[in-house]
A and B are shown apart, each in its own frame.
Chain A
Amino acid sequence: MKVVAKRKVNGSGTVLYRFEGDLTVYTVKKLVPALIKDLRAHAALELDLSGVHKFDSAGYQLMLLMDRDARQDGKGFSISGKSDEVSRILSLYGSEL
């Protein structure tokens, strides 16, 4: 039910996030504003999801949103690490993220 986000900006202007906890309908709401802001202000967004325990369709939807916005604005978006649960959901949806 909780998520801790660690944020870092590297030299090439990529914002790196590492999430520990859940990316679910209960946690996405508070993450969205920061992520949107960072994507607008920086060149790329990279998310490390290897510490994500619970991942549901709301989390998946958030990934889709980031991916779409990045493409619309010509920015970069990638997922650098996936926990088993994240991989399971993404493959269930046949997602290429």
Chain B
Amino acid sequence: MSSSYDISNSRDIYFTEGREMLDQMEASLLSLEKTPGDDETINSLFRSIHTIKGSSGMFGFDEIGSFTHVVENILDRMRKGTLDLSPDLSALLFECHDFIGELMELYEKGADEELSQELTVRRDELLSRMGGYTDLKVAAAEKAAAAPAQAAPGVSDKDRVENQCWHISLRFGRDTFRNGLDPNSFIAYLREIGEIVRITTVYDELPESDAIDPESCYLGFEIDFKGSGTVTREMILDVFEFVREDCTIRILPPNSSIDDYVALINDLPESPMSIGEILTKSGTLSAQELQKALQSQSMEMPTGEGDKRLLGEIILEEGLVQKPVLEAALEKQKSIQKSDERNKKLIRVSVEKIDRLVNLVGELVITGSNVKQISERRNDSELAEPVSTMTRLIEDIRESTMNIRMVPIGETFKKYERTVRDLSREQGKEVDFVISGADTELDKTLIDKISDPLMHLIRNAVDHGIDRPEERVKRGKPRRGTISLNSYYETGSVVIVEKDDGNGLNRELIYAKAVETGLLQPGVPVTDDELFQLVFEPGFSTAKEVTSISGRGVGMDVVRRNIESLRGTIMLDSREGEGTTVRITLPLTLAIIDGFLVSVGDDSYVLPLDMVVECTEVSRSDLQSNDGGNFINLRGDLLPYLRLRDFFGDTSNYTGKENVVVLEYARRKVGLVIDRPVGEFQTVIKPLGAIFSQFRWVSGATILGSGSVALILDVPRLMQSNGELKRSSLNRTAGARA
């Protein structure tokens, strides 16, 4: 273990947590726009920025620290109810949020470099705008409110000490060093909010040298501190927030009464004389004041037990005086505990470790399948039983492993809320954003890859989809538009539906554009489905005006390409004037699938088991009776089918009965005619090299127990190919007739 590793590791944690805090801040701000003045949300808002400030100070990210400090001041006023969240302020806080995010990015790049000219300008601009919310009037009012807390009531001036400084007594816990904390970082941080007038190290606790454990911390400090500007007790406590558990902190405000010092002296673990000496030596108390303090103490001393009672009373008195502060501190501690509890239930694991595990499990699945096949071939009943147990266990392991990677999609959805808000304001539209199915879990890799395409669709929905409020009213729709995101499971895949109740696609316009660009022949009838798919063609845009966000015709094709690279499909449904619905269907996971092994001639193929609905025998006559139609009658339903034998051009002789596997994907059913089904088969998708890239209907390959290779068929692509095949065969017939 090297120390540089330690630091970079905790730096990583800083950035991860910092981002989480920023997300929390954004969520709080959004929720405050809906329910203004909600105390709990304001508190959470405050906590998020407060935590960023605290940890930035620890890592020496001064720019973030000082900037968040100003933001925190404003939020503190909101929390105290002296400032309301106006729309302007809300917008300002959003900008601050973004700015802090950029600062973090800057620091994360490892640069402790200077801010760029542009960032400096933005920072100053934000600071000056925030200055408007910290005007003198408010500051003065606050000072007045803070004053009674500082001066204990009912104590005459002559009982107060001369000292104008805060007095801070710190006693660090034995484990401070072991917990990776160093008192000097907190002292250095304290210096940022004021001046350390005097500091004395107290090390009376340091044991005899024979008994010392040099890795334990025996240090304490007595500090006299003068805040720059208004410093509250809370602000001082905040400095030590990260060492709270390892440190006893006692704070006396400036000009505290002698009684308070008596209480402090009694309270500290060291002997009263030695503390008294430290306090006078360092000038915290004058010799006379100490005399007085020790006198009053010794006067009460003789009663023995009474001493303890009195001590309690003094603390209680102090407690009463500082009650609001105490309560705030307690509440804060509670919230810290709460987040600690949450953290304990989660561990952060690097993605690489999980990827490695997934790979190994993948290999295990393949090997397991091989063993199973061999054992089946041998027909060895003694072997069969442990093999079947092993297969079940492997299946469980596979499932649990894949589950590790599953993350609820809700977090990703929430990110778009801000996008919708910002964009709709920019364009003077009113839009509600509704999320459902946030709990649906999806492979983390998939979520990462789907996040950008979704963002694009949502921007599109706001920009092109939702109509202006006036137009909406004219059309008899509610003034506010709605964009909804929903996700749910469906036959082995996850469906994400993005829906708006806006303009809808203009069928004529798309048709005209398609004819104009040569994508369609004029006069050829085309279904809605086929027509809308054209929207995904590269360079296709019907937007009359190009806005900053969309309309350049770049994007939808990228969206489709991204989704197809995940073995997913995207479909569009729209009614003019009523809205547009985009359905994205994605496989649950990328790497391992439950397969259904079938054979055609000498070759084996794997189909995703999730999509298999049924498997049934068909007679030749059923297939041959529909000349060129490629449909069979399945219990009265018309089922389009593809004969794999024909598709692969397999001419080997096969006289047995043929079977049809009915597959369902994206609500479409299709039949695959095969020779015979072999059975269920767990498999890992091994990607094929670039040579095979032209065979789009193959998603990969896998190795069978016999050592031969089976192709894994990509059913959605195969269906498309089937469509093309149908069309091309129609064309052929048409061509032959002509």
Binding site for B on A (CB under 8 A): 1, 22, 24-26, 28-29, 31-32, 36, 54, 56-58, 60-62, 64-65, 68-69, 89, 92-95
Contact = CB atoms under 8 A, between A and B. Distances in A.
B209 interface: yes
Interface residues of B, number: 28
Interface in B46-98: none
A80 B206 CA distance: 24
Given A25-B177, A36-B209, A64-B206, A93 B217 contact: no
A23 to B, nearest CB: 11
19 contacts: A28-B214, A28-B215, A32-B214, A57-B219, A58-B177, A58-B214, A61-B217, A61-B218, A62-B214, A64-B201, A64-B203, A65-B206, A89-B184, A92-B184, A92-B187, A93-B184, A93-B201, A93-B221, A95-B201
Contacts of B199: 93-94
Q: Sorted from nearest, which 7 A-B pairs have the closest CB atoms?
A: A94-B199, A25-B177, A28-B214, A32-B214, A36-B209, A57-B183, A57-B182
A95 B217 CA distance: 17
B200 interface: yes
Given A89-B184, A92-B187, A93-B184, A26 B3 contact: yes
B59 to A, nearest CB: 16
Interface string B1-13: 1110000000000
A57 B217 contact: yes
A22 B218 CA distance: 20
A68 B203 CA distance: 10
B184 A56 contact: yes
Contacts of A32: 209, 212, 214
Instruction: Point out which of B1, B188, B219 has the most chain A C-beta atoms below 10 A from its C-beta.
Output: B219
Nearest to B223: A94
A26 B3 CA distance: 9
Interface of B: 1-3, 176-178, 182-184, 187-188, 191, 196, 198-201, 203, 206, 209-210, 212, 214-215, 217-219, 221
Contacts of B201: 60, 64, 93-95
Nearest to B200: A94
B242 to A, nearest CB: 15
| Secondary structure type dominating chain A contacts | helix
Given A58-B215, A94-B198, A65 B209 contact: yes
Nearest to A58: B177
A61 B184 contact: no
Contacts of A1: 1-3
A28 B217 CA distance: 12
A62 B217 CA distance: 10
Nearest to B187: A92
Contacts of A22: 3
Nearest to B181: A57
Contacts of B212: 32, 65
Given A31-B214, A60-B219, A61-B206, 7 more contacts: A24-B3, A25-B214, A28-B214, A36-B210, A57-B176, A58-B177, A93-B221
A95 B219 CA distance: 13
Contacts of B200: 94
A57 B184 contact: yes
Contacts of B198: 94
Contacts of B3: 1, 22, 24, 26, 54
Instruction: Point out which of A32, A57, A69 has the most chain B C-beta atoms below 10 A from its C-beta.
Output: A57
Contacts of A58: 177, 214-215, 217
A92 B188 contact: yes
Contacts of A25: 177-178, 214-215
A73 B702 CA distance: 79
A65 B211 CA distance: 12
A68 B212 CA distance: 13
Contacts of B217: 57-58, 61
A54 B3 CA distance: 10
Given A57-B183, A65-B209, A29 B203 contact: no
Contact of A69 (B1, B183, B209): B209
Nearest to A30: B214
Contacts of A64: 201, 203, 206, 219
A58 B212 CA distance: 12
B8 to A, nearest CB: 14
Nearest to B221: A93
Contacts of A54: 3
A62 B203 CA distance: 11
Contacts of A36: 209-210
Contacts of A26: 3
A77 to B, nearest CB: 12
B209 A61 contact: no
A61 B182 contact: no
Instruction: Point out which of A61, A68, A89, A93 has the most chain B C-beta atoms below 10 A from its C-beta.
Output: A61
Nearest to B207: A65
A95 B196 CA distance: 13
Nearest to B196: A94
A58 B182 CA distance: 8
A67 B183 CA distance: 20
A93 B201 CA distance: 7
A32 B218 CA distance: 15
A66 B177 CA distance: 19
A58 B180 CA distance: 11
Contacts of B1: 1
A69 B201 CA distance: 16
A54 B218 CA distance: 20
B737 to A, nearest CB: 84
Nearest to A64: B203
A69 B206 CA distance: 11
A93 B206 contact: no
A52 B399 CA distance: 53
Nearest to B208: A69
B588 to A, nearest CB: 46
Given A28-B214, A32-B212, A32-B214, A56 B206 contact: no
A36 B206 CA distance: 14
Contact of A61 (B191, B196, B210, B219): B219
A32 B219 CA distance: 17
B182 A56 contact: yes
B191 to A, nearest CB: 8
A54 B184 CA distance: 13
B382 to A, nearest CB: 57
Contacts of B2: 1
Contact of B214 (A61, A89, A95): A61
B208 to A, nearest CB: 9
A62 to B, nearest CB: 6
Nearest to B204: A68
B432 to A, nearest CB: 54
Contacts of B188: 92
A76 B200 CA distance: 22
A92 to B, nearest CB: 6
Contact of B177 (A31, A57, A65, A93): A57
